[in-house]
Amino acid sequence: MIIAIDGPAASGKGTLAKRLAAHYGRPHLDTGLLYRGVARVLLDRGEPLDDPALAAAVAGALDMGALDESRLRGREMGEAASLVSAFPAVRGALLDLQRRFAGQPGGAVLDGRDIGSVVCPDAHAKLFVTASPEERAARRHRELASRGDPTPYEAVLADIRRRDERDSTRSTAPLVVPPGGRVLDTTALDPDGAFAAAVALVDASLAGS
């Protein structure tokens, strides 16, 4: 059973994916960490983020087991990941890695920007999790503040809108509602409400209704 969860930045898809994976007893992959991992390697090496060949080479050699999530979070890494993820060669290099994870016995839960549309188009359940830009920015602002990051709300909102534009207009694997995807707007939902709604949508997909 493969569950694909897509959506824009700070929509709550990552939190939902983790809870759904626990609920259904399946492994979980936050595919955004792969792109953040590529950006982290480039930054650590002092390499530019705008060189497609360099980024693709790093992606091709990426060790998923060696990713240090504590160094991949934060506003800077989100912006860096958004830049390298726009390169077709990077997405191509990471595609097989994601598909192998999804294809393990019993399936998996994956979240990202192109899981239901590109990585796992035949997933048993596809969710597109979204929320208003203002609500997503408020969530990200609270998250950053909890980590001691003083970035103003207005800057976070501008960043969200910039990433939305980049993700939805890139030539390769743009952010879209995948065919057969069920949209879940979490703007007015708390985490438990969003989880309950997500379970209902996944169960309906699995039941073929």
Among residues 126, 145, 135, 140, the alpha carbon closest in space to that of 78 is found at 140
CB atoms within 10 A of CB 74: 16
The reported pLDDT for the residue numbered 119 is 97
Q: The sheet that has 28-30: what strands, in order across it?
A: 28-30, 108-112, 2-6, 125-130, 182-185
The reported pLDDT for the residue numbered 171 is 85
To the question of whether residue 14 is assigned a binding role by annotation, the answer is yes
Q: Quote the CA–CA distance of 156 and 179 in Å, as a whole number.
A: 30
pTM for the whole structure: 0.91
Tell me the per-residue pLDDT of 7-65, one tens digit each, with 9 for 90 and over. Answer: 998 999 999 999 999 999 999 999 999 999 999 999 999 999 999 999 999 999 999 98
To the question of whether residue 92 is assigned a binding role by annotation, the answer is no
The reported pLDDT for the residue numbered 72 is 94
To the question of whether residue 107 is assigned a binding role by annotation, the answer is no
To the question of whether residue 12 is assigned a binding role by annotation, the answer is yes
Hey, where are the domains in the chain? 2-207
To the question of whether residue 198 is assigned a binding role by annotation, the answer is no
DSSP code string of 95-161: HHHHHHHHTSTT-EEEEESSIIIII-TT-SEEEEEE--HHHHHHHHHHHHHHTT----HHHHHHHHH
To the question of whether residue 78 is assigned a binding role by annotation, the answer is no
Write down the CATH number for the domain with range 2-207. Answer: 3.40.50.300
Per-residue model confidence as pLDDT tens for the chain (209 residues) = 999 999 998 999 999 999 999 999 999 999 999 999 999 999 999 999 999 999 999 999 999 988 999 999 877 898 899 899 989 999 999 999 999 999 999 999 999 999 999 999 999 999 999 999 999 999 999 988 998 989 999 999 999 999 899 889 988 889 999 999 999 999 999 999 999 999 999 999 999 86
To the question of whether residue 17 is assigned a binding role by annotation, the answer is no
Structure tokens at 147: 């980590």
To the question of whether residue 25 is assigned a binding role by annotation, the answer is no
